[in-house]
Amino acid sequence: MLPDDALVAMAGVCHRVQPLSISVYFRRVGVLTSEPGSQELQLCRDVPAPVFRLLSFVYLENNVHFTCDVFHLLEHEVMLQKFSARTPITSVCLQFYSNEPAVVLAPKTAGALCSFLGSLSARCISITVDTMRYYDFTPRQVSRSQRRLDNTAHIAHVKTLMSGVRRIALTDELFRTQALAKVGSLLLNGPHVTSFGLTCTSTRGNTILSQVNFPELRCLRISSAIAPRFPTEFFHRHSSVYVLGLFGLHEGCSQRNLSRSSRSSSRNVELPRLAVLTFTDRFLPWVSNLVCPNVTNVAIYPSRHWETEKLVES
């Protein structure tokens, strides 16, 4: 079996074997996997340097699922934009790490996210921006560079992209700074989004939910340290919700705050099409105000012991 350095060398000097050499190397180091009809490229945490050097020569076909941590997006911004522009990416997952606040707060992060999202093709129907809670590696240092001053073209491309997106899942870290919030708000408007998930460990959830506008929304999932107070108009805009999941998190929030935020409201919430309801007991006061005559499947979990349920869309 050829060693890794031999595969990298062959990919750089011999065009005939270049695609095969790169494919074998990527699979060997664990960044590329395949299933019938689809491929997944994962650039997370410790990625060997040759992967980024060879990325310019990679041409993936069929349905491509792309996962990348935001640190790599900052360090290899131009290369990853070119890759996404020529690749039929159907779903993308961008990841922050909770022990790397410098990545979230870096001045160039918002611009890099906006430009990458703007480089995706119309084939992309699923966008996830998540926060991974790993603490077993040393935080990486973000290299310095100038903040991008004009994202007008990229913003227009993201708005166009959202006209075809079907699934969105976001972390409230995407709204941590004013610059990031401008990018995040672009992902809260989509005429054909049917599934939306939001994970919050702060009080930003209410502000985020007030901006959501998905007329065809059918599946809604909220995971939050503080039970959000849905804006009055939220369910007026999203009365077709069919599947609803409300899950409590216990990070960064005192029990006093949890109790206060979970008080029941006297206002009823009408969801005439709701059929599947899954929630943890922290949301019971809010759920008690639901008017959902057609619900057929209800599951309740203790807040500290619930297991993630796969919400089935129909």
Per-residue pLDDT, 230: 86
Q: How many domains does the chain have?
A: 1
Does 11 fall in a domain? Answer: no
Does 209 fall in a domain? Answer: yes
Per-residue pLDDT, 114: 96
| Residuewise pLDDT in 10s, the chain (314 residues) | 554 554 454 445 455 556 777 888 899 899 999 988 899 999 999 999 989 988 888 889 889 999 999 999 999 999 999 999 999 999 999 999 999 999 999 999 999 999 999 999 999 999 999 999 866 788 899 988 765 656 788 999 999 999 999 999 999 999 999 999 999 999 999 999 999 999 998 889 999 999 999 999 999 999 988 877 888 899 999 999 999 999 988 654 444 444 444 444 557 889 999 999 999 988 888 899 899 999 999 999 887 655 444 443 43
Range of the domain at 236: 31-301
Per-residue pLDDT, 305: 54
pTM score: 0.88
Per-residue pLDDT, 209: 95
Does 130 fall in a domain? Answer: yes
8 Å CB contact between 82 and 56 = yes
CA distance linking residue 31 with residue 116, whole number of Å: 19
CA distance linking residue 209 with residue 176, whole number of Å: 15
- The domain that holds 250 is classified in CATH as 3.80.10
Does 307 fall in a domain? Answer: no
Does 306 fall in a domain? Answer: no
Does 106 fall in a domain? Answer: yes
Amino acid residing at 64: V
Does 19 fall in a domain? Answer: no
8 Å CB contact between 111 and 119 = no
Per-residue pLDDT, 16: 52
Does 142 fall in a domain? Answer: yes
